[in-house]
Chain A
Amino acid sequence: MDNEYMVDETPSYWPSVLVAGIITGIIFSVVGLIGSYTTIGGSTTMATVSGIAACLLGALGGIIVNWHYAKENDITYTIGKGALLGFLTAVLAIVISTVIGQLWTLIIDPDLNQALYNAQIDNYEAQGMTQDQIDMALQFSPKPGTSTYLLVQVGMGLLMMGIVNAITGLIGAKIFASEE
């Protein structure tokens, strides 16, 4: 019965990662879709605003997860754990936003990808890019809807969002889970 006292009582962080990942993933998807439709509609101002929002909201995952974990359990923990929570939140958010994006283009608006691709080329031409430059740009942003596009989006998203949210996770742990 002595073993009962050896149970690790540190609360699980997965509920917090789940909450923050779902919130960040859904918001990221919504802002991304707004950005796509405004790009297609030719409204560069709204596309820029949604881009700024995506930037801020994408980085918020690390803050949200640490706020939730620290406040729900009223605990302090190491800053490295904060970074881990931010990274895991980013991974979950990318998975969720990818699934939402795929479902949206499969069920709700199958023409979105082609329209977005055409709008991208129109934007490049409007910037005065030559055909060679447009081809080069399209190398790094393949045609939406293809498996290459999906892999690039998920890979780059995981790398970038992972790093950014690990950093905001450090900051979140410092604010919410460390002693003065």
Chain B
Amino acid sequence: MNQLRTQHTGVYSGLVVAGLFLFFAALGPGLYGHTGAGDFGWQHALFDSVCHQDPDRSFYLNGTLMAVCARCIGIYTCFMIGVLIIPVVDYFVPQSKTVMVKVLVAVVLSNFIDVAGNFFGVWTNTLNSRFLLGSLLGLSAALILTNTFFFNTKIGVTKWTMNTW
């Protein structure tokens, strides 16, 4: 029988709170009833230092510009989802650090190539393609923390090991 052992639960709780806060703040003022393009809120000021917030490269929610661009909303959405599913991943398909680091590096490079290709006119990326690549980045950044807060242990094996020892 499998069992999920935990550690650093305080840090994981903080990570969940941070992930949820970033996601809901990134959605912008349109989330709670503000309507109309051009409406600004504290969310835009908050993300000003970490996102270009170009209106042509951002989604709208309830007719209001989100606080971050399409790539960044993909990052924050899937980072939040990734953080929430860490226990599930650790229970069913635990991943090694080496594999997840390789995945993260590949996804970061993909985003660089996408930005460079668009900048130099090799191709034109879209809101959806930016969102998709951002989503992969957010998800892989969260899932690199698998095997950190939760560990899948087999109770039978643990008991046998302890008795033997």
Residues of B within 8 A of A160 (CB): 46-47, 49-50
Residues of A within 8 A of B54 (CB): 44, 48, 51
Asked whether B49 lies within 8 Å of A156 as measured between CB atoms, the reply is yes
Q: Report how many residues on chain B are interfacial, defined by Cβ distance under 8 Å.
A: 41
Question: B38 → chain A, closest Cβ, in Å?
Answer: 4
Residues of A within 8 A of B49 (CB): 54, 58, 153, 156-157, 160-161
Asked whether B46 lies within 8 Å of A156 as measured between CB atoms, the reply is yes
Given A163-B22, A167-B15, answer yes or no on A80-B8 (Cβ-Cβ < 8 Å).
Answer: yes
Cα-based distance from A167 to B57 in the complex (angstroms) = 25
Residues of B within 8 A of A129 (CB): 37-38
Cα-based distance from A153 to B50 in the complex (angstroms) = 12
Question: A26 → chain B, closest Cβ, in Å?
Answer: 15
Given A137-B40, A175-B97, answer yes or no on A54-B50 (Cβ-Cβ < 8 Å).
Answer: yes
Q: Report how many residues on chain A are interfacial, defined by Cβ distance under 8 Å.
A: 44
Classify the interface of chain B: helix, strand, loop or mixed. helix
Asked whether B38 lies within 8 Å of A128 as measured between CB atoms, the reply is yes
Task: Say yes or no: is A118 at the interface (Cβ < 8 Å to chain B).
Answer: no
Of the candidates A44, A128, A175, the one whose C-beta lies within 8 Å of that of B144 is: A175
Asked whether B52 lies within 8 Å of A52 as measured between CB atoms, the reply is yes
> Nearest CB to that of A32 among chain B residues?
B49
Task: Say yes or no: is A152 at the interface (Cβ < 8 Å to chain B).
Answer: yes
Asked whether A140 lies within 8 Å of B45 as measured between CB atoms, the reply is yes
Residues of B within 8 A of A58 (CB): 49-50
Cα-based distance from A107 to B50 in the complex (angstroms) = 26
> Nearest CB to that of B21 among chain A residues?
A163
Pull 27 A–B residue pairs with CB atoms less than 8 Å apart, ordered by A: A48-B57, A49-B119, A52-B52, A52-B115, A55-B52, A79-B11, A79-B145, A83-B11, A133-B36, A136-B40, A140-B42, A141-B44, A141-B48, A156-B49, A160-B47, A160-B49, A163-B18, A163-B21, A164-B22, A164-B50, A166-B18, A167-B15, A167-B18, A170-B11, A171-B144, A174-B97, A175-B97
Top-9 shortest CB links A-B: A51-B52, A137-B40, A129-B38, A133-B38, A140-B45, A80-B11, A48-B52, A55-B50, A157-B49
